[in-house]
Structure 1
């Protein structure tokens, strides 16, 4: 019995250590996957992907999902059917913060998702998620 428990423990610790974001590329992959789920209104699945990397209590993240689901009928009514997503840009603060912006397009308007990661030591953690319909921060000056 001890051998079986030892093997299960090793397997579980291997799974846990696999749930790390060791580099910027892994943060981008995670945020891309989250946006794919958000586009399909699979908010729980998108947040569930981030849970292992987000230092908030799972109940708080589930509350975030419920808030998004509660607000989404207004998005559907006001903006219409979703038509696609675009990755917009990356912003950084030194080597500790990285933020990705995604446009979520609808028939009548668009919103943007902003996903922020923080690296306090050696691993990245999800730090913030938000969506807004005010697109002003995304505009670039054209001369």
Structure 2
């Protein structure tokens, strides 16, 4: 029998001479949360194997370099994320993520590893929440002229998951610096 307690991987701190460090919290009964530099997966997972696999991927992600191709406008960014969420809403998580891969600030190897682990999380959600039933755009929030957060929900039969794309406008245009997806709908209010 698996325990309802899962460790939390809080994220990566790269302030110490470029070397990542990982802080593990004490086990708690709250939802397991796995944070990657660019993709965050949260849910009530009780599967030890899934938690360990995702933690291993976090270590791989911390070590690789990043590059991304940007798009010139927020409207272009939104078109790309809308198309990705349309694909995810049809039940094709890997295809949705792959469609926006060039916008992410991670290497191809990092992205592929993380997408594989995200597929595991998606299968757990599908088992728990039912079949995919589409998506809905919720909000665009801009901070200054260089930051934007696009928020969506991915609908299932019994529940929905929240998706947040955090983007930055740098010298190559708008790129996706972080993607969070979780089942914490209450945080939308």
Query: TM-score band (shorter)?
Result: 0.7 to 0.9
1:106 matches 2:156:
yes
Distance 1:44 1:76, change over 3 A: closer
Aligned to 1:94, which of 118, 126, 144? 144
1:30 matches 2:80:
yes
1:59 matches 2:117:
no
Tell me the TM-score normalized by structure 2: 0.59
Alpha-carbon distance, 1:98 to partner? 0.8
Which residues of structure 2 form unaligned runs of 5+? 1-68
**Are the counterparts in 2 of residues 44 and 62 from structure 1 also a CA contact under 8 Å?**
no
Distance 1:111 1:93, change over 3 A: same
User: Once the two structures are superposed, what CA deviation does each residue of 1:6-55 show, in whole Å capped at 9, x if it has no partner?
Assistant: xxxxxxxxxxxxx6410110010010011111112322322222222222
What RMSD over aligned residues (CA atoms) do the two structures have, in Å?
1.6
Structure with greater proportional strand content: 2
**Are the counterparts in 2 of residues 39 and 104 from structure 1 also a CA contact under 8 Å?**
yes
Number of residue equivalences: 121
In structure 2, the residue matched to 1:75 is 125
User: Once the two structures are superposed, what CA deviation does each residue of 1:62-107 show, in whole Å capped at 9, x if it has no partner?
Assistant: 1121111111221011111222211100111111111111111112
Structure with greater proportional helix content: 1
**Are the counterparts in 1 of residues 86 and 134 from structure 2 also a CA contact under 8 Å?**
no
Query: 1:68, 1:113 → 2: CA distance?
Result: 13
1:126 matches 2:164:
no
Distance 1:122 1:56, change over 3 A: closer
User: Once the two structures are superposed, what CA deviation does each residue of 1:85-141 show, in whole Å capped at 9, x if it has no partner?
Assistant: 1110011111111111111111211111111211123611111112110112212xx
Tell me the TM-score normalized by structure 1: 0.77
**Are the counterparts in 2 of residues 54 and 127 from structure 1 also a CA contact under 8 Å?**
yes
